[in-house]
Amino acid sequence: MLGKTYTYSRLGMYCNIVEVEVDIKKGLPSIMVTGLLSQEVKESKERVRPAILNSGLDFPLKRMTINLAPAETIKMGSHYDLSIAVAVLKALGAIDEKDKRIAYFGELNLSGEIKWIRGILPMVLEAINSGFEKIYIPEENYYEVSYLKKDNIIPVSSISDLIDKLNSDTHINFLEYKVKEDNIKYDDYEDIMGQQEMVDGFTICAAGNHNMLLIGPPGAGKTMGASRLPSIMPDLMEEEILEINKIYSIASFSQNEQWITKRPFRTPHNSASSRAVIGGGIKVLPGEISLAHKGILFLDEFLEFRSDSLQALRTVIEKKEVYISLRNGCAVYPADFLLVAASNPCHCGFYETEGGICSCSMAEIKKYRRKLKNPLTDRIDLQVKVERINFKSLTQGQKNQSSKEIKKKVLIARNIQKERYKNEKFSVNSQIPPEKVSTYCRLESGGAKILEKFMEDNLLTARACHKILRIARTNADLAESDLIRISDLEKALKYRFLDLEAL
């Protein structure tokens, strides 16, 4: 007697079809499960038997072999229980599937109830794309897929409920489930008094998708500024929303039953382990860098982060995804975020601060500033100096533009870039490759001389020169100018102040 069902294996974001076969023969009673299984899948047989018996069905004591194919892919997670149970029931003749292609996902408890599983969304999407006619999932997971509005995804609460639904001839209507969209409301730049240079920095950052380094004394409003960045970024596109929710479905952050529609803003603490920042662990979960996908990763006091996290970040920034190596494969998570790193200007935090007294020695300051010029900051375009706000500008200072107004400018600049790079593999200024900088960053006459002098005076590398030109390009786009004017270039030089320091 043979029974066969389908489910999916998941490693990182990649899902593969798994064929579950059950063979029941006469012989000494035993259950053997094969197919490169992790501990929780091996334990599955201990759950499936009582779950079937406690659902009032028969489970004869016979020789049973369960195989999960292909044997080459590792099977992790508890969602195989349901497909194994159905394959057993099919082998015993207790279930008759009317549709040909059905996929099952769900963990069983001993009483036969079907429980919540991790990462349902990427697996269900893969099953839909592969043409499965019906997909049975735990009722407790339904909110994660209800946004897809597919009536071939059927929520089930127990084995008995599943059998009822499999046997029912009537079409099961799409369960109307109120999707709760995230109600995150990001604060407005309008609420910040003064700090014009910082707000301008964030505008450039959002317009050209430039990573950013903020340097300023404690309490200068670095966090306040960064947390408002999502409010001026372009809205997410449908496929981006889906990708973010896939990651959150795996991280199981969506357990608060919300569908994420806004750009995430993640602020890991500097004491976080590199697993928490980069991802991994026994369950191979996505880290903060993936939870910040398509959003902002804000690292406050970034020099205090573990050095292995910072080192890993360097590669992730370039590749825009993270590879987590395992004994039996490699998990990949997307990690395309905008990095905003913040730091004090010196160890005590008050170097060159108006009204503050720095207690560091010159040697300490030099050491600290040298640390600021590390391989990670080398991948950051914008360097923004944030000053402590004094009482006068706090009470009488100018109000900033509202986020809505800034966003309008950002969107115009983004559209200019999209049009300009329509035949390229990139779409924003921060991604112009070195060999194309001269094509796309044409300077107004006289501009080249200024840039040359700046480079010679400060002994800059070609890499730094390209960064300046990319920022200048964004400045020109924000001003809707085709040519990079001298004023755009000078403004860009202001945002490279660390280059001026000979340390």
| Binding interface with Zn ion (CB under 5 A) | 346, 348, 351, 358, 360
In the complex, minimum distance from the CB of residue 269 to Zn ion, in angstroms, rounded to a whole number: 23
Shortest distance (Å) from residue 356 CB to Zn ion? 9
Contacts of 371 (CB under 8 A, 6+ apart): 303
- SS3 at position 240: helix
Residue 434's contacts (CB-CB under 8 Å, 6 or more residues apart) are 462, 463, 466
- Max distance between CA atoms of the chain, in angstroms, equals 90
Of 254, 192, 213, 224, give the one whose Cα is nearest residue 398: 192
How far is residue 249's CA from residue 105's CA, in Å, rounded to a whole number?
14
DSSP 389: P
Residue closer to Zn ion by CB (options 289, 348) is 348
Q: Which residue lies nearer to Zn ion by CB, 6 or 368?
A: 368
Output the smallest distance, CB 307 to Zn ion, in A: 22
Residue 250: CB minimum distance to Zn ion, A: 43
Nearer to Zn ion, 314 or 347 (CB): 347
Smaller CB separation from Zn ion, 136 or 351: 351
Q: How far is the CB of 357 from Zn ion (least distance, A)?
A: 9
Which residue's CB is nearer to Zn ion, number 348 or number 416?
348
What is the rounded CA–CA span in Å between residue 229 and residue 476? 20
Residue type, 459: L
Q: Which two tokens stand for residue 20?
A: 């579950």
Nearer CB in complex with Zn ion: 363/459:
363
SS3 266: strand
Helices 403-420 and 462-478 pack at an angle, to 10 degrees, of: 120
**Helix axis angle, 462-478 relative to 486-494, nearest 10°?**
120
* Nearest distance, CB of residue 382 and Zn ion, angstroms: 23
Residue 346 C-beta: closest distance to Zn ion, Å: 3
Nearer Cβ to Zn ion (275/369):
369
Name the H helices within 333-485.
362-372, 391-396, 403-420, 437-440, 447-458, 462-478
Strands (E), 216-373: 258-259, 265-266, 279-280, 285-286, 296-299, 321-326, 329-334, 338-343
Cα 444 to Cα 447: distance, rounded to the nearest angstrom? 5
Minimum CB distance to Zn ion smaller for 28 or for 362: 362
Least gap, CB of 367 to Zn ion (angstroms): 11
Residue 286 contacts residue 249 (beta carbons within 8 Å): no
Smallest gap, in angstroms, from Cβ of residue 219 to Zn ion? 15
Cβ-contact 272, 308 below 8 angstroms: no
Nearest to 330 by CA among 10, 9, 12, 8: 12
Nearer to Zn ion, 226 or 358 (CB): 358
Alpha-helix residue ranges (DSSP H) falling in 54-118: 81-91
Closest CB to Zn ion among residues 388, 494: 388
Strand partners, 253: none
